[in-house]
Amino acid sequence: MSEPPLSVVRTVADLRAHVRTWKARGERVGFVPTMGALHEGHLSLVRLARERADHVVASVFVNPTQFGPNEDFDAYPRTEARDAELLASAGCELLFAPDVAEMYAPGFSTTVTVAGVSEPLDGAARPGHFAGVATVVSKLLMQAAPDVAVFGEKDYQQLQVIRRLVRDLDIPVEIVGGPTARAPDGLALSSRNAYLSVEERAAAPALARALTAAAEQLRAGAAVDQTEAQARAALEAAGFRKIDYVEVRAADDLARLGPGPVAAPARILAAAFLGRTRLIDNIAV
Amino acid sequence: MSEPPLSVVRTVADLRAHVRTWKARGERVGFVPTMGALHEGHLSLVRLARERADHVVASVFVNPTQFGPNEDFDAYPRTEARDAELLASAGCELLFAPDVAEMYAPGFSTTVTVAGVSEPLDGAARPGHFAGVATVVSKLLMQAAPDVAVFGEKDYQQLQVIRRLVRDLDIPVEIVGGPTARAPDGLALSSRNAYLSVEERAAAPALARALTAAAEQLRAGAAVDQTEAQARAALEAAGFRKIDYVEVRAADDLARLGPGPVAAPARILAAAFLGRTRLIDNIAV
């Protein structure tokens, strides 16, 4: 069966014109915001959105405000033609690909911040990152006005920050988390995996393995502090250089758990460097 | 002619049910957010909204997060039954009057901040005030989803902060400023005028008089610094105790002007105390 053609729009006005037409017919709109460099993980989110809506809009926007001054904004992979083909193949009908000036006009000066859930982990390791995310996601949700928006659990803290801000600001959209897509050896799919050397790619699955082992230990009643220490040692042994965090946190608000066994829904999350590439992953406990 | 009856709703769900019904019929919705203690100034905003929409929703919510710790949140006048009568008389069909728990559920942790335009004047005099305003207005606009929302020019800086945040976050609503309603002697109508003693009420029109005289001088080519000094002296002579500011600012982003004559659209704004009551006013130059 041939897929419907994919339209590409670059302005908020054109995006809204498409969405308005669908909504006027009473049809549901799903939305998958991305930074491009798409892989099977993104496509699984598009398919999830397609199951819950009549039309799927994706955005590709490498958002400068969520990168720190020493991060990889300029180097971040940009592959729009290929992204468009992949989106069409997964059932996405509309790609919103604005430039930076369309998103941040001169005089732009508003910031959305989320206290609490955005503060530990990547919030501590990447100052300003989640304010950039919360602000651009608020904008994208206002622009696309979807009925449902899908975000990957791969960026678990981001997902929880977005759930919080959507609830707090009463943005009329349902937020759905999509399971992390993984390579056969367990490595979470990520656009940043493209940075890995052959040797680093071979070492990378140790991250998912360490988290899976930790989650099993916790389910068996192990203490949080010992489990975190063992996972950290496993990462170091596998060649991870700088470990930003390996922590067990409450699944909803990412509050600190431990030092003893966990009693409530929890998540174990990690961020660590292989060479110059920062990988993140997380697993439900 | 009898007015249509006014419905009162206290939950976001009930508010949205009313608005959805109207929108499904293709009718336009106007919105006037207030803190209650309504007077002719608010009613003029309701009538302005009615001119631009098929239905007008007003909200009455004394928002705790925009009051400082030493301000008048507890004392702020609450007169809902009378407010409802006045709203109905002005053509408002729906009053949204949530309690604090409906607006700020446990765990609420999101803040909308606007840099630049929210920083001087009341932003400097009332730390945190405009973050409280920007956050609650963002919520109210998401809750009511109006086509047009009307805010009074009496709170001119607030109006400009809201214009900025609506543009920056791409909230799909038209923002309209309503002219300041005044007593016959020129005093800008304000819910806080109820705090004034008889003597203070007699002195209060000096604020509008000083700003009007200043605007005339500026139009005639007077320098900003001298005009501000004269207006300040006039307020002190009239018995104003503490003067938070009397300043000439750019009309759009409230950037500092002067010290010489003004060349672009400007606004002169003042905030000063009569006894314990803080009055604000502003006039176009």
pLDDT digits (tens, 9 = 90+) for A28-40: 999 999 999 999 9
What is the predicted pLDDT for the residue at A2?
A: 57
pLDDT in tens, B119-171: 999 999 999 999 999 999 999 999 999 999 999 999 999 999 999 999 999 99
- Residue A285 tokens read as 């406990």
A89 in helix, strand or coil? Answer: helix
Which of B117, B142, B253 faces A169 most closely, judged by CB atoms? B142
Q: What's the rounded Cα separation, in Å, for the pair A279 and A155? A: 11
Is B279 a residue whose pLDDT tops 90?
yes
pLDDT-derived band at A4 (thresholds 50, 70, 90) equals low
Alpha-carbon gap, residue A190 to A35, rounded angstroms? 11
Here the tokens at position A137 are 């996601």
Tell me the C-alpha distance between B238 and B241, whole Å: 9
**What is the structure's pLDDT at A79?**
94
Q: What span, in angstroms and rounded, lies between the C-alpha atoms of B39 and B37?
A: 7
**Is B207 in contact with B190 (CB distance < 8 Å)?**
no
Of A109, A110, A169, the CB nearest to B139: A169
d(CA A227, CA A134): 31
Give the tokens for residue A208: 């998912």
Q: Which residues of A touch B (CB under 8 A)?
A: 12, 16, 105, 107-117, 134-135, 138-139, 142-143, 145, 164-165, 167-172, 253
| Joined tokens for residue A202 | 């071979």
| The pLDDT of residue B4 | 67
Say how far apart CA A257 and CA B2 lie, in whole Å.
Answer: 62
Tokens describing residue A80: 């729009």
pLDDT of residue A179: 98
Sketch the domain layout of chain B as residue ranges.
7-178, 191-279
Alpha-carbon span B222 to A168, nearest angstrom: 48
Q: Which CATH class is domain A191-284?
A: alpha beta
Hunting for tokens 């009239």 — which residue is that? B238
- Is A190 labelled a binding residue? yes
Question: Chain B residue closest to A25 (CA)?
Answer: B24
Res. B206: pLDDT tops 60 = yes
pLDDT of A57 over the 70 cut: yes
Instruction: State residue B211's pLDDT score.
Output: 98
E-only strand ranges, B93-232: 94-96, 110-114, 148-152, 174-178
In this prediction, residue B5 carries a pLDDT of: 86
- CA atoms A141, A143, A148, A149: torsion sign: negative
Mean pLDDT for the stretch of residues A205-218? 98
- In percent, the amount of chain B with pLDDT more than 90 equals 97
When pLDDT is averaged across residues B251-269 and rounded to a whole number, the result is: 96
Q: Is A114 helix (H, G, I), strand (E, B) or coil?
A: strand
Residue A129 is predicted with a pLDDT of 97
Q: Are strands A110-114 and B110-114 parallel, antiparallel or unpaired?
A: antiparallel
- The arithmetic mean of pLDDT across residues A159-179, rounded, is 98
From the options 3.30.1300.10, 3.30.360.10, 3.40.50.300, 3.40.50.970, give the CATH code of B191-279. Answer: 3.30.1300.10
Catalytic residues of A: 42
Chain B residues with CB under 8 Å of A116 CB are 107, 109
The CATH code for residues B7-178 is 3.40.50.620
**In this predicted structure, what is the pLDDT of residue B49?**
98
Reference B278, options B184, B195, B157; nearest CA is: B195
Q: What is the DSSP string of B220-269?
A: TT--HHHHHHHHHHHHHHTT---EEEEEEEETTT--B--SS---S-EEEE
Active site residues of B: 42
- Sequence-ordered list of residues with C-beta below 8 angstroms from that of B197, at least 6 positions apart, any chain: B275
What residue type is A18 in one-letter code?
H
For residue B195, what are the CA distances in angstroms to B79, B81, B135, B152, B255? 14, 20, 27, 20, 32
pLDDT given at position A3: 59
- Per-residue confidence at A59, pLDDT binned at 50, 70, 90? very high
Please identify which residue in the block is written with the tokens 């699984």: A44
Strands A29-34 and A55-60: parallel
CA separation for the pair A132, A138 (Å, rounded): 10
Kindly state the percentage of chain B with pLDDT values over 70. 99
Residue of B188, B181, B195 lying closest to B76 (CA atoms): B195
DSSP string covering B51-117: HH-SEEEEEE---GGGS-TTSSTTTS---HHHHHHHHHHTT--EEE---HHHHS-TT--EEEEE-ST
pLDDT band with cut points at 50, 70 and 90 for residue B44: very high
Q: What is the pLDDT of residue A148?
A: 98
Q: Tell me: pLDDT of B2 over 90.
A: no
Encoding tokens for residue A270? 């990690």
User: Phi, psi at residue B107, to the nearest 5°?
Assistant: 90, -5
- Please give, rounded to a whole number of angstroms, the shortest distance from the CA of B207 to a CA of chain A: 31
pLDDT surpassing 90 at residue B21: yes
Q: What is the spatial distance between Cα B86 and Cα B109, in angstroms, rounded to a whole number?
A: 35
CA distance B55 to chain A (A): 20
Mean pLDDT on B231-236 = 98
Under 8 Å between Cβ of A228 and A134:
no
Query: What phi and psi, each to the nearest 5 degrees, are found at residue A119?
Result: -85, -40
Instruction: Tell me if A283 sits within 8 A of A150, measured CB to CB.
Output: no
Label residue A177 left, alpha or beta by phi (over 0 means left) and psi (-120 to 50 means alpha). beta
Best A103, A118, A169 member to test B by mutation, with max B CBs in 10 Å, is A169
Q: Return the SS3 of B276.
A: coil
Contacts of B164 in chain A (CB under 8 A): 107, 109-110
pLDDT value at position A5? 86
d(CA B245, CA B231): 10
